[in-house]
């Protein structure tokens, strides 16, 4: 199970109650910053925007590709390590608004992680150092360090040990 905090709501669904959980002005500011970041071709500018205005923790030389969408409501709950790549059109979510509850969870992405294009990372997920996530993956649970994972729902395709064996075998060939 993902590591999320659950907050029950009564009456209308939780999304109708959004501005009781997060400020409208925070969401509006974050939306503008994220839209600028989605189209900015300069990695250092994106990282500066995300660190400065969204309070995200972003490691050195991390690259957010074109059209990446960090969580608009709780981006401060996202941490990405150094030298990682977040692929084209990937979404990083730190919240889920459901019918009778909403959930919040930190997204922790390690160092030298590769997340393929069009992936979605759900709240409360940790992706370990050196992990590789294939394109179009729904990351719905933790990924161990060095693993290769993919699919919808996500599966671990190779563990770190299996990846090392495959690399060693390819070097011998």
Q: Is 109 helix (H, G, I), strand (E, B) or coil?
A: strand
Average pLDDT of the residues in 33-53 = 97
**E strand or H helix that includes residue 166:** helix 160-172
Q: Which residues contact 128 (CB under 8 A, 6 or more apart)?
A: 110, 113, 142, 143, 144, 145, 146, 147
| Arithmetic mean of pLDDT, 49-70 | 98
Domain boundaries, the chain: 5-172
Rg (CA), the chain: 17
pLDDT in tens, 60-115: 999 999 999 999 999 999 999 999 999 999 999 999 999 999 999 999 999 999 99
State pLDDT tens for residues 126-173. Answer: 999 999 999 999 999 999 999 999 999 999 999 989 888 888 888 887
Burial (Cβ within 10 Å: 0-12, 13-18, ≥19) of residue 136: middle
Q: Give 56's DSSP letter.
A: -
Confidence tier at 1 by pLDDT (50, 70, 90): low
Q: Give which of 152, 168, 160 is closest to 132, Cα–Cα.
A: 160
Tell the CATH topology of 5-172.
Answer: UDP N-Acetylglucosamine Acyltransferase; domain 1 (2.160.10)
């Amino acid at each position: 199970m993902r590591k999320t905090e659950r907050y029950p709501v009564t009456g209308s669904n939780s999304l109708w109650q959004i501005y009781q959980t997060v400020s409208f002005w925070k969401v509006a500011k974050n939306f503008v910053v994220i839209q600028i970041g989605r189209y900015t071709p300069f990695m250092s500018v994106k990282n500066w925007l995300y660190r400065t205005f969204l309070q995200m923790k972003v490691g050195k030389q991390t690259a957010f590709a074109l059209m990446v969408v960090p969580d608009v409501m709780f981006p401060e709950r996202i941490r990405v390590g150094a030298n990682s790549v977040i692929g084209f059109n990937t979404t990083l979510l730190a919240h889920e608004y459901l019918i009778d509850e909403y959930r919040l969870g930190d997204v922790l992405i390690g160092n030298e992680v590769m997340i393929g294009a069009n992936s979605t990372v759900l709240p409360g997920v940790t992706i370990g150092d050196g992990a590789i996530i294939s394109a179009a993956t729904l990351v719905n649970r933790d990924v161990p360090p060095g693993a290769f994972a993919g699919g919808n729902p996500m599966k671990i395709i190779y563990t770190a040990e299996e990846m090392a064996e495959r690399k060693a075998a390819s070097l011998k060939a």
